Homo-oligomer: A and B are copies of this chain.
């Protein structure tokens, strides 16, 4: 049974009913497209294509009600889906939310999730356009993101990295894993204040909207996001492209805050950098200079797999669902 924090009080889903709960969601994340059998999106720009992706988040597995606020859960659900849209070089335009929740869930908690979703989709000028609500044993969110891929350049698939190209990144690497390690050790209330940015990176990741579109417009060849782990995700690009990727240790070295957290926990910050996922940092390859907002972290080389300074990485595993 999920324990919801005491300050999410008031009537429950069971008391308010399906329609009352839907009203609370729509009030927190309003959209004129919502409320019919299906949502109709805007006319897309000429020559554009729609992009779609989906992710399911389960309480106790992908988030914990005692570690994250519902607003953060909503934010994270959007960022991880929108990062997949951006990783194609596309612009997120809409999200759908299917929720299963126990009847004892406070409506205020679901409203918090919707408010977090509204905040993040608003940053992208996107909308929560529809969804579904059902009672269930577990709190389960299933978010679908729809994006628009404009213009004639190809989408940024995983298979177009070529030897000699730069490997570039937009966003932090290893911060989400560090935040998770701190939460596991201290619980949310106990994490020392200076590590708040690491906890935020885990509970409410944020990506600057539009970096994927910029990367595609300025010549990136392949792109993904760091969802399962730096080495694992780059290895997917390497395998699909038939190349190797060599990371430069100086360019991915853990920042002082990571080092400090690792010392406190007796951990190795390189494990967070190399194997930690859920940063949703955009990872791309390009024949040119790093796109605006991206920094170089390595090179595409002949061969296969991912190396660091030419040697096997110290940690090469990553997140798997099971």
Judged by a CB distance under 8 angstroms, whether A321 is at the interface is: yes
* The one of B90, B134, B146 that contacts A61, using a Cβ cutoff of 8 Å: B134
Q: Report yes or no: A38 in contact with B85, Cβ–Cβ below 8 A.
A: yes
Cα A61 to Cα B133 with chains together (Å): 13
Instruction: Given the known inter-chain contacts A88-B37, A136-B140, please indicate yes or no for A52 contacting B18, CB distance below 8 A.
Output: no
Judged by a CB distance under 8 angstroms, whether A39 is at the interface is: yes
Q: Which residues of B contact A129 (CB under 8 A)?
A: 52
Closest B residue to A55 using CB positions: B132
Cα A304 to Cα B61 with chains together (Å): 47
Cα A85 to Cα B51 with chains together (Å): 17
Q: Report yes or no: B37 in contact with A41, Cβ–Cβ below 8 A.
A: no
Q: Report yes or no: B53 in contact with A38, Cβ–Cβ below 8 A.
A: yes
Interface size grouping (class) on chain A? 35 or more
Judged by a CB distance under 8 angstroms, whether A115 is at the interface is: no
Judged by a CB distance under 8 angstroms, whether A131 is at the interface is: yes
Give the distance to chain B from A283, nearest Cβ to Cβ, in Å. 10
Cα A55 to Cα B146 with chains together (Å): 16
B-contacting residues, A4-31, CB 8 Å: 13-14, 17-19
Judged by a CB distance under 8 angstroms, whether A196 is at the interface is: no
Judged by a CB distance under 8 angstroms, whether A158 is at the interface is: yes
Closest B residue to A149 using CB positions: B40
Judged by a CB distance under 8 angstroms, whether A103 is at the interface is: yes
Q: Which residues of B contact A19 (CB under 8 A)?
A: 320
Q: Which residues of B contact A142 (CB under 8 A)?
A: 54, 56, 98, 132, 140, 142
Cα A103 to Cα B61 with chains together (Å): 13
Give the distance to chain B from A51, nearest Cβ to Cβ, in Å. 5
